[in-house]
A and B are shown apart, each in its own frame.
Chain A
Amino acid sequence: MSMVYFSQFERFERAAAGTPRWLQALRRSAIRRFGELGFPTTRQEEWRHTNVAPLAKAAFQLAEPHANGLTARALAGCLIAELECCNLVFVNGRFSAGHSCLCALSGGARAGSLAAALQSDPGALEEHLARYAPSGENPFTALNTAFLADGAYVFIPDGVVLDQVVHLVYISTAPDGAVMSHPHNLIVAGRRSQASIVESYVGLRDDVYFTNAVTEIVAGEGAVIEHTKLQRESERAYHIATIQAAAGARARLTSYAVLLGGGLTRNELRVLLEGEGGECRLDGLYLAKGTQHMDTRTTVDHAAPHAASRQLYKGILDGRSSGVFHGRIVVRPDAQQTDARQTNRNLLLSDDAVIDSKPQLEIRADDVRCTHGAAIGRLDEEALFYLRSRGLDEAAARNLLTYAFASEISSAMKLKPLQCQVDLLLLNRLARDGRPKEAE
């Protein structure tokens, strides 16, 4: 089935004239690697609970760069109200200048399309691009690198504090057949710089398509980076993503991942704490219903001493949906005084929903503090009764308790407009899914 990808790769490469040689070499070795690895099967431990056979079978086509009829109204629905930000809008993985709103960033920082940066400043990209998220083990990362052409490039020089949020808006629309896109984002944050980046993935309609995204974040010494991901793809879409972050000494990385859409989602976050005293705080929320499948993976790699990591992931599963949480913490021999904590809590709203939660600790240093906990539960009957005994109908009571469970994640978000947006998405989603309200 990989043949479809090879023939498309040939066409893709022919069309991409003028590519720097190093990038061409990267792509070629990536497509070879993809050929060797092939699509994973559930016989592989890493993919045991996530079956990508339907994705492998579908012959996704690279989207035409300009196939879009995005209306202003549809675009507005993809943005975040009242968020002071510049919007980089991508349609089917390709930057759309006409829909974007680029603002002047402070202190020589830049945020623009990767395709443009590859034209204007390929040298700056060479040392970073596809270096943090290598194609070695993950066929999807290999596929992304093979088709690497566009995405966002955000560069924040040393000491610069961005006063605007950078919002990357990936909009997919596939009215004429199943398309795929391979967005690649590179965020390079200099020493003591500060920035907040939001990635949104939105499906305009109920289309079948495949988003295969890779984001690389390099946070220099003392940098403070906040990364938020809002995934609200079409419920028939496939969404596979890897976010690979490397944090230097005393850098602080905060990540929020909110997964709402997609038929099959696998969101992998890998953080390398490579400098002494680095910190990361990773929060996530996944809401699945119907037959949605959501797989969240994290790897926090403590490679230096005195670093701290916190993880809180919450899942809400309804209908016949399934979820996976696999949280891995690695503490390397030198990483003494590591403080790593991981929590995963899941709420099952139906008898048919399933969740596989698995923590994995690999500790090779002796003076560390690592804790993890996983819980799977249902709505508290006594709390439901309490709410109903005060006059709330059953659906409203269930929704309120479910929202309360989720709001621990949204309420931790520092950017108010973002928090409001997530709350709104949650409430709309719960109101839609809740049993029909009784006539009053």
Chain B
Amino acid sequence: MLKIKDLHAEVEGVEILHGIDLEVNAGEVHAIMGPNGSGKSTLAKVLAGREGYRVTAGAVLFEGRNLLDMPPEERAREGIFLGFQYPVEIPGVSNMYFLKTALNAIRRHRGLDELDAIDFLALARQKMKLVEMDENLLNRAVNEGFSGGEKKRSEIFQMAVLEPKLAILDETDSGLDIDALKIVAQGVNAMRRPDRAMILVTHYQRLLNYIVPDVVHVLLDGRIVKSGGKELALELEEKGYGWVPNGAEKRQPVAR
């Protein structure tokens, strides 16, 4: 589904990603772990098409198509979803209007009929249950005044409504207490499907107790330095990132 080859990217003239190779197949859940500043969020934003993140070398193919050529909205319509680490507050735009507009843009792209307000509301209600989200939040402005937990739940709710093929969840666990974490994880698990892939970007192993990944990658200084099964996360938790050998020459082959 997603093939990343030797991806180099810079932000404000500083190279952050120094050659990432990664392959994610339908049905898989990958975790990308790494300390602060290792380039995890940069990778997530490059994949979603954030302006200001410049790809200087390498390629990214999504279902065989060059992802890097597409503007962010086209990536979204093709089925990529980025769950933001810091969801943006947008005063004056109701959640309901925003999400209905987004869903209909995606549905149009996929050749489906647009949903009217009534059908959308029915769908939204059903999806809100997944993350035990308060229905009142639908009428509130996008993320405005939401608590940290509400924002993260709202991201997962959006994902559930938009039904992406590939979800990239950037630090979805940060700022969540254990109850909220369980609810968010439950929502994510409910969305695992053979035709959907997920990339969890996280600093801590904690999330992976609740969403068990198929593959774990360690990102250090802009490179994937180790990949393995779910047990790799536990090992990291125990030994810390210092334990992982650094440097390109010691890089492990990408797990399949």
Contact = CB atoms under 8 A, between A and B. Distances in A.
B148 interface: no
Contacts of B162: 390-391
Contacts of A56: none
A408 B105 CA distance: 26
A392 B101 CA distance: 7
A380 B73 contact: no
A45 interface: no
A388 B75 CA distance: 9
A179 to B, nearest CB: 39
Q: Of B49, B50, B51, B88, which is in contact with the most chain A CB atoms at under 10 Å from its CB?
A: B88
User: Interface on chain A toward B: helix, strand, loop, or mixed SS?
Assistant: helix
A389 B91 contact: no
Contacts of B109: 391, 440
A407 B92 contact: yes
Contact of A405 (B81, B92, B106): B92
A165 interface: no
Q: Of A391, A394, A404, which is in contact with the most chain B CB atoms at under 10 Å from its CB?
A: A391
A387 interface: yes
Given A391-B106, A392-B105, A400-B93, A385 B73 contact: no
Contacts of B50: 385, 389
B143 to A, nearest CB: 9
Interface string B34-78: 000000000000001111100000000000000000011101110
A386 B73 CA distance: 10
A382 B71 contact: no
B91 A404 contact: yes
Contacts of A440: 108-109
A430 interface: no
A391 B70 CA distance: 12
Given A386-B84, A400-B101, A440-B108, A394 B90 contact: no
B92 A394 contact: no
A386 B87 contact: yes
B48 A401 contact: no
The 8 nearest A-B residue pairs measured at CB: A404-B92, A390-B102, A391-B76, A388-B72, A391-B105, A386-B88, A391-B106, A391-B102
30 contacts: A380-B88, A382-B88, A383-B88, A383-B90, A385-B49, A385-B51, A386-B88, A387-B90, A387-B98, A388-B71, A388-B72, A388-B76, A389-B48, A389-B49, A389-B82, A390-B76, A390-B99, A390-B158, A390-B162, A391-B103, A391-B106, A391-B162, A392-B105, A396-B101, A404-B141, A405-B92, A407-B92, A411-B92, A440-B108, A440-B109
Interface of B: 48-52, 71-73, 75-77, 81-82, 84, 87-88, 90-93, 98-99, 101-103, 105-106, 108-109, 141, 158, 162
